[in-house]
Structure 1
């Protein structure tokens, strides 16, 4: 990655696509598409991708679009086969049993998948490590993933921002993610009065947000699509993006600011444009430097990703 782009990302402009929830929601458009006797509605995110709602989750839609409107046919409207995510820990199964995990079509086992797509599908199903937290192992190199993740020098990090198992007796139910921007900590509530806590980086002044959202989808090594306004402000960034499936962006990989994992936060049927994701700058954890997204050390993002399902409630405190 070039030095100018690295500075640009560290400035907090690269992590997210929006400055505030209000702005984010105003950019997420909804397109209606109906057929005779068919009341299916398509939801469109900021990247132009369409989704069909199936109960409490959204599944990608790859049907036709004509004259700026989506055209539903009965074959395309059928939800693609989804592979369930790895079962949550036993303590969380009761609360999450009704939450089907949304996995992108590349996880369907299609033999025509590229090696990268097949590796991403396998990464989505990675089992969590439920043993005692050994920092040397927890933050060691991850060599069996889609891309190798370097070891993180946890000895240089404030211990308050390292992964911990803690007691929890708060008001939120097991399976809930709680983000405390002031403390720069994210907590996953578990059964039995316990929780798992991680350090995070959050939005800088003017880019912070609070409220309740839902994990609508999960992606391993996701592509990143900076908004057009961001690209326009940075000619150097314009030279770094490529034409991808959903627009101009950076392919998932070692130079992608979303890191090894991303969980996409929606409110109702709208993409908030905020994410919980890994980062290229692990030592920004514990600081307020992003454009509103919640960034984690890549090893922590992988761990959290393996413990939550689509439908998980996320509460960002004020």
Structure 2
């Protein structure tokens, strides 16, 4: 199976999954719900592109098409634009707050300094794509799920891009290891 066939098979699987979205995910405004779209400016296929000012993530397809997802992004200066690649993928990942997170908000994160096992209450949600950079390795930035649907469309995280748990499950199946990820700068 070549790359194009792989991407097209993922498109078919994802399209079938959309019909069974849970009610909570359907409550998102239309521009934050998953949709198969035609890009105004085509991007290379097989990449993830995050546009923080629009709270949207695009998984690009051939012929200028993409799957669009609504996301939440990092607040203030915690959002880190740049070029990355998917260096790891995990289902129901465990989570440990970074030392910087504990320092910023000890009342919220110190209790989890030894980590938290994966599960429905875990901040990384159902799936996570771990973002790496050449020469740096794991950046501790993630594209992950969240049980907090009300956070989608807001700049509230500690730097990561978050999708609903149902949406990250769909994206997770589409994005292969080593896929390029671009987090564009905030304009606002």
Above 0.5 in TM-score? yes
Residue equivalent to 2:72: 201
Q: 5+ residue gaps in structure 1?
A: 1-86, 94-126, 141-150, 243-247
Q: Deviation per CA, 1:283-311, whole angstroms, max 9, x where unpaired?
A: 11011111110000111100000001101
Residue equivalent to 1:45: none
TM-score, L = length of structure 2:
0.85
The alpha-carbon distance between structure 1 residues 132 and 262, as it changes in their structure 2 partners (threshold 3 A), is closer
Greater relative CO (CA pairs within 8 A, separation 6+): 2
Superposed, which structure 2 residues align to 1:1-318 within 5 Å? 90=5, 92=7, 128-131=13-16, 133-134=18-19, 137=20, 139-140=21-22, 151-155=23-27, 157-168=28-39, 170-231=41-102, 233-235=105-107, 237-239=109-111, 241=112, 248-269=114-135, 270-318=137-185
**RMSD across aligned C-alpha pairs, in angstroms?**
2.4
Q: 5+ residue gaps in structure 2?
A: none
User: 1:88 touches 1:309 (CA, 8 Å); kept in 2?
Assistant: no
For residues 234 and 189 of structure 1, the distance between their equivalents in structure 2, rounded to whole angstroms, comes to 39
The alpha-carbon distance between structure 1 residues 231 and 307, as it changes in their structure 2 partners (threshold 3 A), is same
TM-score, L = length of structure 1:
0.52
Could you tell me how far 1:216 is from its partner in structure 2? 0.5
For residues 40 and 6 of structure 2, the distance between their equivalents in structure 1, rounded to whole angstroms, comes to 15
For residues 42 and 14 of structure 2, the distance between their equivalents in structure 1, rounded to whole angstroms, comes to 26
Could you tell me how far 1:254 is from its partner in structure 2? 1.3
Could you tell me how far 1:171 is from its partner in structure 2? 4.4
